[in-house]
Amino acid sequence: MSPNVFDVTDATFQSAVVDRSQQVPVVVDFWAPWCAPCRTLGPILERLIAARNGTVVLAKLNVDENPGLADYFQIQSIPAVKAIKNGQLVLQFEGLLPEAQIEGFLNQLGPSETDDLLKQAAAKESSAPAESEAIYQKLLNQSPDHVAARLGLARLRLAARDFDAIVTLLEPIPPGGPDGIEADRIRAECALKRVASGDEAALRRKLDADPENAELRYELGRALAAVGRYPDALEMLYSAAERDRPLARGKVKETMVQIFHIIGVRSDLADEYRDKLQRVMY
């Protein structure tokens, strides 16, 4: 059995199939050892999917050993094959099909032209931003609600410091999920960069002369965050919070939360400074 063909159970279905389908289409083969057509179909599926080198993977589910999923998917007869992509059931068939039809079924799960364009645009964001923008804009013109194109354009606008355009681009994107998290990250970085920050060297000179000045420490923290030095920024912001509790509850907390969205709300660094800030504020 190849690395892209694996057994799945009721207990592992969520992680092995649903979660994994966010990265790659997962074909689920509902079968049983006593089913003769299953024993014929299984090797065909395994061979065809193994040849696709990871662009599609196969999860094999024994319905006798996993009746819960068989009931959930209302499996009436086997073999039954269902394709999951981005957490959704997108294609299915029952029975033993000719190999050519199975090949056609799998072809429908491969990367679409839009997927290829998105990969091209993402790869060009840093090296050829104008070309990347043209691709994203083409996709957005074809589909105004195209979330990935909106996110790509927002990243490009952020790099160009065109902050006003970002608000409009991200407005239709709903909260939650990977897209919502990326939108929040871009918004947070935009908020940090669009407010003019002081010069680091000048702020450090002022702080050397007045080391207990919490406001100066806050301003230096923002300046560090604006250039992407997030660990240093969090350390400086925390030192401001230690010296001024009202400041901690207001501007320091707001800036720290923005940084958390950029580095990952549940990252180790965010968890560390979230706990520290809570202790200072309360």
- The catalytic residue positions are 35, 38
Residue pair 154/122 in contact (Cβ under 8 Å)? The answer is no
The end-to-end CA distance of the chain, in Å, is 56
One DSSP character per residue, 29-65 reads EEE-TT-HHHHHHHHHHHHHHHTTTTSSEEEEEETTT
Residue pair 2/51 in contact (Cβ under 8 Å)? The answer is no
Q: Which helix (H) or strand (E) holds 89?
A: strand 88-94
Residue pair 46/6 in contact (Cβ under 8 Å)? The answer is no
Residue pair 45/101 in contact (Cβ under 8 Å)? The answer is no
